Structure 1
Amino acid sequence: MPATLNGQLVVAISSRALFDFEAENQVFEAGDDRAYMALQQQRLDEPAPPGVAFSLVEKLLAFNAGGPPQVEVVVLSRNDPISGMRVFRSAKHYGLAIERGVFTRGASPWRYLKPLSAQLFLSANDDDVRQALNAGVAAARVMPLAARASAAHPRELRIAFDGDAVLFSDEAEQVFQRDGLAAFREHESSRAHLPLPAGPFKPVLQALQRLQHAPGGGMKVRTALVTARSAPAHERALRTLMDWQIEVDEAMFLGGLAKGEFLREFEPDFFFDDQVGHVESAAAHVPAGQVTAGVAAARVSEIPV
């Protein structure tokens, strides 16, 4: 019988998201593919420094300790196979139990998400992230130079999510962008009892809740909803989560305040938001990535939702 990843949370991650390859990437961006490969080959025995999503991956894999595997992390990378050897060696150096990888030497790797049954894809490549989202896979463009995760919670995986266009659809965001804040508030107040359609990261939050309730491992999960919504628009967001029978541990309704300092206090291993302004605010304090989906993904609003 072939191996199967059924029943596991499958996370696909690029090498630049997992490890700090920014120095090597400068050579690659210069268009010298051969020089990049040669540099990686020279550094095969040199473990790459941890990247922006390293803490997230390390803690996810910790859920596999002492029981059947619950999480599978696969490297899905535009790197060449030789450079992939350094990725695997670096993972081994840090004790990351990563066994599978797909390396495409510059070609877009997103098409392998489906045979992997991946539920989350993290990459520094914007086009790959957009393709993944279009294919129905939760994905985010990581900020490679974002702050690294706090070491204060070694046995607790902490993840924070924006609401609209991330956990929820961008239905309400479209109203805000088209008609303004007053219309948005009226729209959401009049529909407070009507659940919002799901966004791309609803399955990820569901998977985290399953991890939270799974026995063994000694790891915990703590989640937060961090949104620019405020009262009265908060109610529809909370009622949607109630309808989905999904719990979050913290909810921050910030009414347009910058999210970065609040996230600094929450100390997530990763934060997901669709708007570049919020991601940049967050990245000064915590690991962050942009979910490049929805009407506001490439826009900075006066009071974004």
Structure 2
Amino acid sequence: MAVSLQNKLVVALSSRALFDFEEENQVFESSDDRAYMSVQLERIDQVAKPGAAFPLVRKLLAFNTAEANRVEVVILSRNDPVSGLRVFRSSRAHGLSIERGVFTRGRSPYRYLKPLGAVLFLSTNEADVRDALEAGFPAARVYPNSVRAAEQYPDEVRIAFDGDAVLFSDEAEQVFQRDGLPAFIEHETERASTPLPPGPFKPLLDALDRLQKAGEGHAPMRLRTALVTARSAPAHERAVRTLMQWGIEVDEAMFLGGLDKGAFLREFEPDFFFDDQTRHCDSAALVAPTGHVAAGIANLLKIS
């Protein structure tokens, strides 16, 4: 019978997203890939320290049981195959069941997301993240120095999402950027009963919802999700109704009306938070593992 990753939640991530390779990356930045490869080979038996995405990966893998393997984690990295040896050894030392990896030695690896069927790609390389998003895959640039998640919820995966340009399209954000807050509120109030088009992370939310439902009653892990958005009443209604129309429930919703998200994320304690705006990511990274979703008009304005 052919091996398949179908019907699994597949997460692909770079080695630097999973492990703390910041010191080794400085060697690469100041020299070249051969110097980096040499350092990784010298340290091949030195177990790498956890990186920003490590807590999320460990908890997602804990959904797997002897009866059902529902989650697959794959290393998808610009690293060379030799450096990949340390990644797999460190994974094994940390008790992470990671068996598959693709190492492209400097080339963008995003094309391999399609044959993997990945519903999430985490990388510290912004160009790779943008490539993946443009190809239709949920992807985020990991803040490697973001604060690691607290370990108070060992049996619960906690993930927080921004709304516009992340879970939802940036339709409303375009109105805000073009015409300002009053026009945004009017636009969303008039369309309160019209679902927002899906954003880049809708496939991940769908997959997490399926994972939660498949494991109910017998999986060792639970999933808790939160919508953390700058929307406020009355613009909140369209967001809630959109989730209802999708048939997906989130456990918590925070309509903050422009308040700093970091303080609220500190209380929610997510294993990962996704947002499309760097100012929110900068704040969030001080309290939780964070990924920037380079999608929507806010990011187009930044690079134009």
Tell me the TM-score normalized by structure 1: 0.97
Deviation, 1:217, is 2.6
Aligned-partner Cα distance in 1 for 2:90–2:58: 13
Aligned-partner Cα distance in 2 for 1:135–1:266: 31
Deviation, 1:12, is 0.4
Q: For residue 74 of structure 1, what is the aligned residue in structure 2? A: 74
8 Å Cα contact 1:225-1:252 kept in structure 2: yes
Match among 241, 244, 247 for residue 245 of structure 1 = 247
RMSD over aligned CA atoms reads 1.0
Runs of 4+ in 1 over 2 A off after TM superposition: 297-300
Aligned-partner Cα distance in 2 for 1:280–1:298: 18
Aligned-partner Cα distance in 2 for 1:30–1:133: 29
Aligned-partner Cα distance in 2 for 1:189–1:162: 19
1:101-250 paired onto structure 2 within 5 Å: 101-215=101-215, 216-250=218-252
Paired letter, 1:248 = V
Match among 294, 297, 302 for residue 295 of structure 1 = 297
Structure 2's unaligned 5+ residue stretches are none
Aligned residues: 300
1:11-30 paired onto structure 2 within 5 Å: 11-30=11-30
Q: For residue 63 of structure 2, what is the aligned residue in structure 1? A: 63
Aligned-partner Cα distance in 2 for 1:18–1:288: 13
Aligned-partner Cα distance in 2 for 1:169–1:21: 34
Deviation, 1:297, is 2.6
How much identity, in percent, do the aligned residues show? 69
> CA distance change for structure 1 residues 39 and 88 in 2, over 3 Å: closer, same or farther?
same
Structure 1's unaligned 5+ residue stretches are 301-305
Aligned-partner Cα distance in 1 for 2:90–2:164: 36
Tell me the TM-score normalized by structure 2: 0.97
Deviations 1:210-233 (A, max 9, x none): 121123231000000000000000
Q: For residue 53 of structure 1, what is the aligned residue in structure 2? A: 53
SS state at 1:214 partner:
helix
Deviation, 1:68, is 1.3
Q: For residue 36 of structure 2, what is the aligned residue in structure 1? A: 36
SS state at 2:298 partner:
coil
SS state at 2:299 partner:
coil
Deviations 1:218-258 (A, max 9, x none): 10000000000000000000000000000000000000001
